[in-house]
Amino acid sequence: MSRNFWKSESAGTFCHVSNYHLLLTFFLLFCSLTSTFAQGKKADYQRAEKVKQVMDTKVFYAPSAFHWLEDNAKVWYANSTPTGKKFVLADVKNKTKQPAFDHQKLASGLAIASGMKVNPDSLPFTDIAFVDNGKALEFTVNETAWKCSLDSYVCTKTVKRPDVRRRGFWGDNGEDNTRQNIVSPDGKWTAFVKSYNVYVEATDKSVKEFAMSFDGSEGDYYSPVLSWSPDSKKLVAYKIRPNKPHLIYFIESTPNDQFQPKLHSRNYLKPGDALPQKQPHLFLIDSKKHIEVETGMGHQYAVTNPKWWKDSRGFTFEYNQRGHQAYRVISVDADGKAVDLISETSKTFIDYSGKKYRQDINDGKEIIWASERDGWNHLYLYDGLTGKVKNQITKGEWVVRKVVKVDEAKQTIIFEGSGREKGQDPYLIQYYKVHFDGSGLTALTSENGTHAATFSSDYQYFVDTYSRVDLPPVTTVKSAVDGKILQELEKADITELQKMGWKAPEVFVAKARDDKTDIYGIIVRPINYNPKKSYPVIELIYAGPHSSHAPKVFNSDFRYRFLHELAELGFVVVQLDGMGTSNRSKAFHDVCWQNIKDAGFPDRIKWIKAAAAKYPYMDATRVGVFGNSAGGQNSAAALLLHPDFYKVAVSSSGCHDNRMDKIWWNEQWMGYPIGPQYTESSNSTHAAKLKGKLLLILGEMDDNVDPASTMQFMDALIKANKPFDFLMVPGMGHSLGGDYGEHKRRDFFVKHLLGVEPPAWEGMD
């Protein structure tokens, strides 16, 4: 600005001064408007937190866990009510419902015994056990176990039941090679592995230990997990050719117990790594005979532990061929002869982790088996002696989701299924009963919602809770014979949600890439949305092929609430299941095979465009996407492979290259051996294609997806000179980034999709 700017001796200079005042006026007006708008955005953030709070605490009469008592006709549950948490006991036979105990007296008794302040409307436990024939309660508070009489309400400390759950890292496929003494069913013999070989000795030491094998070695040893035949005359052991562990490392930068960082490691097998190879060996104790069983198995992914028939005629085990395109149930007789009872093959993959089911009937004379061989997941009845299919039990263009109960005596099966009821979302779970021969298929539930059943131990009754994303839960007790409603229990109250203007998500259906298949998803709008305005769209994406992921039940989990919280900032938020995910037909699922990068994007883009065509306030030119884990891979890929549609992405804990992630998940869908399909699906391969705004979030202690996967993707982006944002959360494991990461994610979308500078974090509470 020149020193002559403020002079007014000439008309020209006067114009400069006038322009300055005009600019100053506009500037002050802009600051005022910006301040008002920023306040509005702060209010949006605060409303998002309010929505979360109300959804978490103000949905009443929607219990989710039910516990049948031993007499089978009574069930208890914890119920959230406007006056606090209440424990309820329902009596099916008498059709009564009452408090499970006197909450005030129990609170007083516990307070006296513990010295704590105890609120009867917020008792400090969620799980109870009726003991002493229903005359007392047991529960745990802060790691202390208590027992309270229901007569006197005197509470005393008791011994906490031990936690018998197996501890260990889920990704470690290693064998426990410590000595295990396996006693025969008749108690006469003890078997164990010593110096890599199988040994047997008399339990009473009357017969000294003797070797059953002599060919074991450090590199080819016998597993200490041995299996006796029921008649105690035969023994099975796997001989193992071990693999080399694959260690991944983590540096914990800020441990709680010391100032200096810590180095951690995990045994974490990845696609292409060597796997243990096991071969069954049969030992005949009386003759001390050793038989190497010839099975014809090829390269194994895994084999199951041997399972003996009760009559000791032989045993079975299951063989999963590496590559997941062959799966066999192999039967071995008492002479060591092996035959295939069941043999499944696929040109793509066998979903062993999500759909496999086997139940032996009448000591293996018959076998119930699940298969997708006709294009849909259904049940089959096999002759367990010949390996021939006797009949298909269920059939049709719908899927069996889970077998709940097989009743040998009544020759019936209770199972979960979806897609059978016409006019309903095909993902909604219903319960059915059917005979082994496929006759008498009976729907135990039918209401238009997804059902969750908790059966009494005698399978005469079940508690049924059903809901949809747009239908609050309804809970009843039904007959497990015919599905008849026997007792009404609860109907959810969402009055507090409705008072704040909350609207349920809309279930939206549009055609897939083939213009034939229906794609299902949900649309979430902000409370104050105005159909005359324009809203950017954000998609929560998770295209993991192991399941389907769009919410189907009301207020189901944190992801459901995530969508509503994010919408309050000024977005329309969506979630859907594209092709390549599970719980539809085999063809629908197969789209993912060796093609994780597809992620259903052609269906997702088409679906969002169809929704925007119906609802013009959805701006399909401003679309963001976020996801975690496999969804982290998907969300980043959106900006690499479909940048003309997706503009902003937040990716957390991403599996950006399937060669860097856990073996079981990735070889299941991407196949074996490792080939060019892995390279083609890697985000690092396509890093140079990045367009739009990308935020990567990573926990330094993520032992689910190797953190190096994200770091390698970052390296590729840097080498391609591509700008991106990155947040590393110290000490955090596999997550979306915690509360801090969530705030950063919201800010990122507000800034880059709304074009608004997010409000300051101070004073946001």
Kindly report the CATH number assigned to the domain that includes residue 718. Answer: 3.40.50.1820
* Domain end among 158, 175, 200: 158
Cα dihedral 600, 605, 608, 614, rounded to 10, equals: -130
Residue 199 lies in a domain: no
Residue 505 lies in a domain: yes
Residue 576 lies in a domain: yes
Model confidence over 155-179: pLDDT tens digits? Answer: 999 986 655 555 455 455 556 566 7
Q: Which two tokens stand for residue 517?
A: 């298949």
Whole-number Å distance between alpha carbons of 272 and 675: 10
CA distance readout (Å), 695 to 624, 625, 627, 652: 11, 11, 11, 8
Nearest to residue 656, comparing CAs of 676, 677, 681, 683?
683
Number of domain units in the chain: 2
pLDDT of residue 557: 64
pLDDT of residue 70: 85
* Domain end among 142, 158, 174: 158
Residue 322 lies in a domain: no
Whole-number Å distance between alpha carbons of 306 and 378: 25
- Please report how the helices 558-567 and 11-57 are oriented relative to each other, as an axis angle in degrees rounded to 10: 150
Name the DSSP letter for residue 441: -
Residue 393 lies in a domain: no
Q: Are strands 155-158 and 182-183 parallel, antiparallel or unpaired?
A: unpaired
pLDDT of residue 710: 98
Residue 418 lies in a domain: no
Nearest to residue 600, comparing CAs of 581, 621, 587, 627?
581
Whole-number Å distance between alpha carbons of 737 and 753: 20
* Domain end among 95, 125, 158: 158
Residue 292 lies in a domain: no
Q: Are 317 and 303 in contact (CB under 8 A)?
A: yes
Cα dihedral 43, 56, 734, 671, rounded to 10, equals: -110
Model confidence over 119-146: pLDDT tens digits? Answer: 999 999 999 999 999 999 999 999 899 9
Write down the pTM of the prediction: 0.92
Collect the ranges in the chain with pLDDT lower than 70.
Answer: 1-40, 160-178, 556-559, 763-765
Residue 36 lies in a domain: no
* Domain with 115 in it: 66-158
pLDDT of residue 761: 87
Nearest to residue 623, comparing CAs of 538, 564, 695, 696?
538
CA distance readout (Å), 199 to 187, 229, 276, 312, 378: 16, 16, 22, 21, 44
